[in-house]
């Protein structure tokens, strides 16, 4: 498990695992074109292990722009199943507005 804080960039994230071993990425703060590359670099090794599922806990995400969406779409393409857990309303709306609801599974 690795924990990295990037408060100065407006985003902190935590990489862990669910009970069944599913990788869990917890993001907090602002995910935008400035912070997205760092998160992508950190998650890269997890995706390289080709997990069958990836869970993103977005319950404490405060902002997400199109770069954030691009990042999620990229991840979604690399795992059979991606779950965005408890996204805030703004992320839910952006995903819907961009026509990506089928690509990015949002629960609940």
Partner 1 sequence: MADANEGVRASDVAPRARQWPYWAAVAVAVVGLLVTGVLTWVSAHNYHRNENRLLALRAHDLGSALTSALPGIQTDLASAAALADATGGNVAKFNTFVAPYAGTGRQFVSISLWRLGGPDRTPVAVAGVTPTLPTSSVSTPALFQHAAASGKLTVIGFLTGPIPRIGYAFTGMSKGPFAVYAESVLPPSRYAPPQKGAAFTDLNYALYLGASTNPRNLLIASVRHLPLPGRHATVKVPFGDTVLTTTVAARGTLTGSLPQRLPWAIAIGGVLLTILATALTVRLIERRRATERLAGELEVAADENRRLYAEQRGIAQTLQHALLPASLPQFPGLQISARYEAGAEGVEIGGDWYDVIELGDGRLLLVVGDVSGKGLPAATAMATLRFAIHAYAVEGDDPATFLPKLSGLISVYEDKQLATVLCAVIDPRSRQVTLTSAGHLPPLIIAGAETRFLDTPVGLPVGVDRAAAYASVTVSAPPGATFLAYTDGLVERRGETIEVGLERLRAEVSSNHVPLDQLLGRVLDDLRHDAPDDTAIAGIRWLS
Q: Which residues bind partner 1 (CB under 8 A)?
A: 30, 33, 36-37, 40, 62-63, 65-67, 69-71, 73-74, 77, 89-90, 93-94, 97-100, 103
Q: CB of 56: closest distance to partner 1 in angstroms?
A: 17
Query: Which residue lies nearer to partner 1 by CB, 9 or 16?
Result: 9
Q: Where are the alpha helices (DSSP H) in the chain?
A: 36-48, 66-78, 89-97
Residue 104 Ramachandran class (φ > 0 left, ψ -120 to 50 alpha, else beta): beta
Query: Which residue lies nearer to partner 1 by CB, 3 or 41?
Result: 41
Q: Counting beta carbons within 10 angstroms of the beta carbon of residue 50, is it exposed (0 to 12), middle (13 to 18) or buried (19 or more)? A: exposed
Q: CB of 106: closest distance to partner 1 in angstroms?
A: 15
């Amino acid at each position: 498990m690795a924990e990295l804080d990037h408060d100065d960039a407006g985003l902190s994230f935590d990489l862990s695992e669910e009970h069944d071993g599913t990788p869990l990425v917890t993001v907090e703060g602002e995910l935008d074109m400035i912070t997205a590359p760092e998160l992508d670099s950190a998650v890269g090794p997890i995706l390289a292990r080709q997990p069958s599922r990836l869970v993103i806990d977005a319950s404490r995400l405060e902002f997400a722009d199109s770069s954030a969406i691009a990042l999620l779409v990229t991840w979604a393409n690399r795992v059979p199943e991606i779950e965005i857990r408890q996204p805030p309303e703004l992320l839910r709306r952006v995903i819907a507005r961009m026509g990506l609801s089928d690509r990015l599974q949002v629960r609940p």
